[in-house]
Amino acid sequence: MKNAKPTAAAAVAPATADASNPAPRADHAHPHAHDPRHEHPGYAQGTPASAEAALALAEEYCRERGEKLTPIRRKVLELLLTSGRATKAYSLLDDMRQIHPGSAPPTVYRALDFLLSAGLVHKIESINAFAVCHDLTQCQHGILVVCQQCGNVTELHQPALREALVAQIENAGYRLAGDGIELKGLCSACQAAQAAGS
């Protein structure tokens, strides 16, 4: 799909015209705003340089907000970028303990809370895991499609579709509890593995 964006280091920058020229949305309830004229460079797919570029972007963005991407916050974001998929907090804690043996759960949870509030990561409620936002700082959060088998997350950036869906939800008398919309599925790689195994 042309407007599908993996939420990982392989696609931490906008890849479509929709994402590269974002406009503010009335239904967006994120606690921060982003100047739509502020453009970000693209990143080479799957390279260490792409993760480094994404981390540099995140640090710059935090400075613009008057906040700091501390070494712990940066490391948690780096772990999410390099994992390439949604990752559970306890897995991040295990990874942190490989680097900093004394790491405790509150350390990782506080870092995740910051990254969530800054809009740098998404919490994937359906699998209780975290993934990097597809554009990191442009706040144009889309519809997340989550593979229920491997945890791969793809963000569909279709503002008109999202707005129509939110309107239908509100017409039914509901209000979204957050700005996340998740769909469950099975990614193409897992479908292929399943077909090969049957």
Print pLDDT tens along the chain (198 aa).
Answer: 333 333 333 333 333 333 333 333 333 333 333 333 333 333 333 445 688 888 999 999 999 989 999 999 999 999 999 887 899 999 999 999 999 898 999 999 999 999 999 889 989 988 899 988 876 655 556 788 999 888 888 888 888 988 999 999 999 999 988 777 899 999 999 999 999 988
> In total, how many domains does the chain have?
1
pLDDT on residue 159: 85
How far apart, in whole angstroms, are the C-alpha atoms of residue 153 and residue 145? 6
Cα angle 175, 136, 1; round to 5:
75
pLDDT on residue 139: 55
Domain CATH number, residue 98: 1.10.10.10
Residues belonging to the binding site for Zn(2+) are 147, 150, 187, 190
pTM exceeds 0.75, yes or no: no
Residue 47, number of CB atoms within 10 A of its CB: 12
How far apart, in whole angstroms, are the C-alpha atoms of residue 121 and residue 88? 12
Residues belonging to the binding site are 141, 147, 150, 163, 187, 190
Domain, as residue range, for 26:
4-197
pLDDT on residue 39: 31
Residues belonging to the binding site for Fe cation are 141, 163
pLDDT on residue 140: 59
Helix (H) or strand (E) holding 175, with range, is: none
